[in-house]
Structure 1
């Protein structure tokens, strides 16, 4: 069927052209929210017409050519982008909006449909992020999780795709913790969602055999990637953080401050399977930080035990009766360098000079 001379197509094309003109696309392109809402509307027009006609996808090709001739200086109307615009509409028009726990605590308007969701929330995302969502995410709950994370953390598209590839949704809030009995709500909920399991340190480059200090050094060396994996809100305070207790010296592997939790966070690395004794040692460290470091306005210090492996039931038993908030997670890393290249890795002294950590030991 030749659409160029088809009266029905020409009438429909005139409607599409009118929509673009009425939306003042040149201005719309400068305002992301208006552009995304416009794409959703245009996607509905395209979807409904193609569904009710016998044209098929060749209508997208013809429409793209006609729009290019009509609006030569406007981008965004290629056949590929028109395909995504149609998919954008079908994705959110058919989605059942999940009512997530805590979504309405601040009395904001909760979307009741996919269209409302686009106008209230999704329109805050760049178009490139939306194309990734509709191409790779099927679950409404997972979609909502990433939409909120992108908005809250201002993720670039590369960072979003990295977090998606690492299965952040499946890992977030999955650690074994005792937060529900050691922290008041809503801090306990926020703390639980802050910790993931497992942590993926795929930026660490080590060869076996390696020790905990090697891992710690690498995490500090790649501190920006380490902080990205930890999540938003962590501020790095130091490695091998020194505490003096009863004239004895103790050193915390890594110390952070979480700005949303308003609490210090002690991270201990164990290059072994979790054993209950680790929880007792962490409880000791948390008591020490609460007494020697924590300010009067800070919330109780939180501990994160990172182990190479753990038995969840054993971890749960280990946390029973402990009155300090802590979580237990596994960590993984996959990249390995040959032994003959290990000497090229920076030394502890080089790391300290590069990060201006000083002589914390």
Structure 2
């Protein structure tokens, strides 16, 4: 299953990178993505991945994580495509996006749980995430319980309680 996800991510990244390159070289506009989506759906009618919205997500994916080879070594490279589209749509800060990707992998979050966590905490977890990536065991423990519990502990409270 992991190999299939990796190959699908490589395909999506490659398509996104091609769109970026062609837009740069030829000045493609948004209507070209719509035309490409139509052409791809005609060529591959059994594939659901070629909608205009999904092609825009592939473009954003390649722009956000430009190095395909290192991508598979990052947390985002271990996530299904649906999780990645949630990250792209709901987070703007790269550090926050990467933090949520790592948390989703570590805790096995479904797409709905990932969406809920982002909606619940928003970008407030960025500070907690930065502490956590520096190897603070106490921060990791306190934030882990706040992610999975239904308490109203805010991320800022979780990070201050670990100090």
Is 1:119 aligned to 2:75, yes or no?
A: no
Aligned to 2:116: 162
Relative to structure 2, which stretch is displaced further, 42-51 or 115-124?
115-124
Bigger Rg, which one: 1
Post-superposition Cα deviations, 1:144-170, rounded to whole Å, max 9, x if no partner, equal: 211111111100111111111222614
Q: Do the aligned partners of 1:142 and 1:169 also contact (CA within 8 Å) in 2?
A: yes
Runs of 4+, deviation exceeding 4 Å = none
Distance of 1:133 and 1:68 partners within structure 2: 25
In structure 1, which of residues 118, 133, 153 is the aligned counterpart of residue 87 of structure 2? 133
Q: Do the aligned partners of 1:50 and 1:57 also contact (CA within 8 Å) in 2?
A: no
Post-superposition Cα deviations, 1:174-225, rounded to whole Å, max 9, x if no partner, equal: 9xxxxxxxxxxx7xx31232214xx6xxxxxxxxxxxxxxxxxxxxxxxxxx
RMSD: 3.1
Is 1:56 aligned to 2:29, yes or no?
A: yes
| Count of aligned residue pairs for this structure pair | 146
Secondary structure at the residue paired with 1:72? coil
Distance of 1:52 and 1:88 partners within structure 2: 19
Aligned to 2:137: 190
| Structure with higher strand content | 1
Distance of 1:59 and 1:173 partners within structure 2: 38
TM-score (norm 1): 0.36
Distance of 1:173 and 1:75 partners within structure 2: 34
Aligned to 1:66: 39
Deviation, 1:328, is: 7.1
| Structure with higher helix content | 2
Is 1:228 aligned to 2:154, yes or no?
A: no
The 5-angstrom pairing of residues 293-312 of structure 1 reads: none
TM-score (norm 2): 0.75
Deviation, 1:127, is: 0.9
Aligned to 1:75: 48
Aligned to 2:96: 142
Q: Do the aligned partners of 1:41 and 1:89 also contact (CA within 8 Å) in 2?
A: yes
Distance of 1:59 and 1:33 partners within structure 2: 27
Q: Do the aligned partners of 2:19 and 2:59 also contact (CA within 8 Å) in 1?
A: yes
Aligned to 1:90: 63
Aligned to 2:9: 36
Secondary structure at the residue paired with 1:47? helix
For structure 1, the residue ranges without an aligned partner over 5 or more in a row are: 1-27, 94-113, 175-185, 200-226, 232-305, 316-326, 330-361
For structure 2, the residue ranges without an aligned partner over 5 or more in a row are: none
* Higher RCO (Cα < 8 Å, 6 or more apart): 2
Q: Do the aligned partners of 2:71 and 2:77 also contact (CA within 8 Å) in 1?
A: yes
Deviation, 1:230, is: 7.3
